[in-house]
Structure 1
Amino acid sequence: MKTSLRAVLVGVVAVAVQALMVTAFAWPAAHIAPRHVSIVVAGPASAGASVAQRLDAEHPGAFEVKRRPDEAAARRALADREAYGAIVVTQSGPRVLVASAASPTVAQLLTQMSQQLSGVRVPAPQDVVPADPDDPRGAAFGALVLPLVISSIACGVLLTLLVGSAEWRGIGVVVFAAGAGLLTATILAVGLSVVPGSYVAVAGVVGLTSLAVASTLAGLAALLGRAGIVLGVAIMMLLANPLSGVTSAPELLPRPWGTIGQNMPAGAGGTLLRSAAFFDGARAGGPLTVLLVWSAAGLLLIGAGALRNRRVRSGNAPERHTPAPVPAGS
């Protein structure tokens, strides 16, 4: 292929990739809106039913309303990650409870909605599970996922390009995941102080998320070669990361993309990190399972690639001929 034609093709492909990335990252953000966001309505049965009906009439499909008898039960629901917020009906008007640690965006949305619902100024919402005081708007937390994904992708690609043995690539992925978890948790807890909770739990979540991404990249590359690298980058960067919902909430993304994002490493990792850092592990089973499945699948792909390469090498090995014995005395 001529150099001039190659240059033109590279430019065209780069333009297409840029357009795809802009669409992948900007489209979900441009369509953020509540879609079946779980909230609690607490208070007397008649008043609570009236509030629930009005919510459904004014915001059809926006909220999934759960009834609780009183404020104490509503607070428990927020602490257990059963809901993002609550409207407590009282004689003096509605009061709002939020869990900004679950999603500062949803907390702000519920505050605005309660004002419209009552028609009068409502008291400031009570934050049952607040975000870290050094990161009240969740900006730093929301910025965590992208560097985790990029560094894990880089690890998978570098291991593929620099390490010839698929077995050692698997070992390299595990070493990376362990180191990434320990060092990143130290940075978050000590250097930045934006993620509270158990150091061991946070390190485990970061390490498992890194393992899920890096092992998938290395596994696809071991099985498919360069095409596997391209496929892995497309999955993790152009699909999983924009659909993670970490900067807002999965329920604010267009359906079914929010659900799809939660079944991929970036979304599951962000959700699990919130559970470990702010909610004592509440509702951690789902995202933990997702990360374990991706990690196991990635390591199995690395193993399958190693087995295939071993078979190819053995099949191409030249046959060894035993030299004929030399007659005595010759």
Structure 2
Amino acid sequence: MTATPPATGMPPIARAVALAAGAAAIVGVVLLAFAWPAVTSEPQGLPVGVVGPDASVAQTTEMLETQAGDALLLTREDDRDAAVAAIERREIYGAIVLGDNPAEVPEVVVATAANAQVAQMLQGVADGMQQQIDAQMRMATEAAIAQRSADPAAASTPFTIPHAEVVVTDVVPFSESDPRGAKLSVAAFPLVLGGIAGAVLISFGVRRSAHRIVALVAYGVFGGLLLGGILQGMFGALQGSYWTNAAAIGLALVAITAPIVGLRSLIGTPGIGIGAVLIMLVANPISAATMPAEFLLSPWGAIGQWFPPGAGATLLKELSYFPDASKAFPWAVLAGWTAVGVLLTAIAVVRERGTTAPANDPELVPAG
């Protein structure tokens, strides 16, 4: 009879319990990563333009501080045209246009395509201004009625109840094919997932690091053309030039995929885990793909724009709806992450060439 070797390490039951606890901890971390931005989101310092004379601006600023607290950050604009231009450049989310005299009805300018939540907030501002105007009109009407009652001669003259309505103008709405921007918002997560999945497939499906660089380029081209066709041609979620949108999507995919592939090429399988955690649990929740960066706790909203998910989502929105906005920063962020990934892979290529290829690996044996 063969003797049973003495048990070493953790007992099987204890090991099973430890693994279960570890799995639960991982689920908890994932839940915190995805739920934290939504639970803690609160508007802070949303830039909104204001146009009008100093006295009206001061009165409106005081009203908004009481109504919205620190949610809005008012910036003076020269006139309505300047405010609209600033909205189209994505410098502000909307504007409040006050008349040159108190008798003029104000206008609230919004851009739903910038963010529907902010546009709804500004609609609430317009409602508050409307209530204030209605109260003033009601007081003026009551005073006029009291005067007519006291003066029989005035009672015979025609009397019209005044009415004024705050105008809300959407200068950058979503397209008719995506009126609420839902299709554009849901595209963000598949890009993240696709980038990670592509990294896994390329890392394990292509053995030589040099060939992985070729695979990254091909993945960006094919992925950009395919996803661009789906999002723009089938769903109507993207507007503008199909080729430019396809290039942006392809670069966003590669910006996620390349660093993970580079880490895998350089340090082995753990590199995939490090890259995936960085993108999925850090970069994606703070990407501001579905909410303004100002809704996230400072400075996480701004930090999120330095990662591929945030830069990619911003770039696609600006290409579709804000052609006047500067797009240099998101293009540079995506190109930078792509370059880092390619550089890591290139280092692995140099290292491979400096070592002797195993004889039993046909892909690593030099030809000839």
Q: Which TM-score applies when normalising by structure 1?
A: 0.89
- Give the deviation of 1:159 after TM superposition: 1.2
In structure 2, what is the equivalent of residue 104 of structure 1?
Answer: 116
Larger displacement relative to structure 2 (40-49 or 4-13): 4-13
**Most deviating of 196-205 and 55-64:** 55-64
Contact 2:311 2:333 in 1 (8 A): yes
1:162 and 2:171 correspond = no
1:237 and 2:249 are equivalent in the alignment: no
Deviates more, 1:42-51 or 1:113-122: 113-122
Q: Larger deviation: 46-55 or 195-204?
A: 46-55
Tell me if 1:116 matches 2:158: no
Partner secondary structure for residue 76 of structure 2? strand
Return the offset for 1:281. 5.2
Count of aligned positions: 316
SS in 1 for 2:280: helix
Aligned ranges for residues 1-330 of structure 1 at < 5 Å? 7-56=16-65, 58-90=67-99, 91-117=103-129, 119-120=131-132, 123=166, 125-280=168-323, 282-311=325-354, 313-314=355-356
Q: Distance in 2 between matches of 1:5 and 1:143?
A: 42
Structure 1 unaligned regions, length at least 5:
318-330
Report the Cα distance in structure 1 between the residues aligned to 2:14 and 2:216, rounded to whole angstroms: 38
Structure-2 separation of matches of 1:7 and 1:266: 36
C-alpha root-mean-square deviation of aligned residues, in Å? Answer: 2.2
Cα deviation for residue 124 of structure 1 reads 5.5
- The structure having more radius of gyration, on CA atoms, is 2
The AA in structure 2 aligned to 1:109 is M
Q: Secondary structure at the match of 2:98?
A: strand
1:240-278: per-residue Cα shift (whole Å, max 9, x none)? 111111111111111111011111000011111111111
Q: Secondary structure at the match of 1:119?
A: helix
Deviation at 1:82, TM superposition (A): 1.3
Identity fraction in percent: 36
Deviation at 1:301, TM superposition (A): 1.0
Could you tell me which amino acid in structure 2 is paired with residue 240 of structure 1?
Answer: A
Deviations 1:158-210 (A, max 9, x none): 11112110111111111111111111111111111121111112111111100
Q: CA deviation at 1:282?
A: 1.2
Residues in 2 aligned to 1:260 and 1:297: alpha-carbon distance in whole angstroms: 18
2 CA distance for matches of 1:12 and 1:310?
Answer: 43
Aligned-partner residue type, residue 19 of structure 1:
G
Q: Distance in 1 between matches of 2:307 and 2:338?
A: 11
Q: CA deviation at 1:305?
A: 2.0
* Counterpart Cα distance in 1 of 2:56 and 2:348: 62
Superposed displacement of residue 306, structure 1: 2.2
Q: Return the alpha-carbon distance in structure 1 between the equivalents of residues 21 and 240 of structure 2.
A: 47
Displacement of 1:288: 1.3
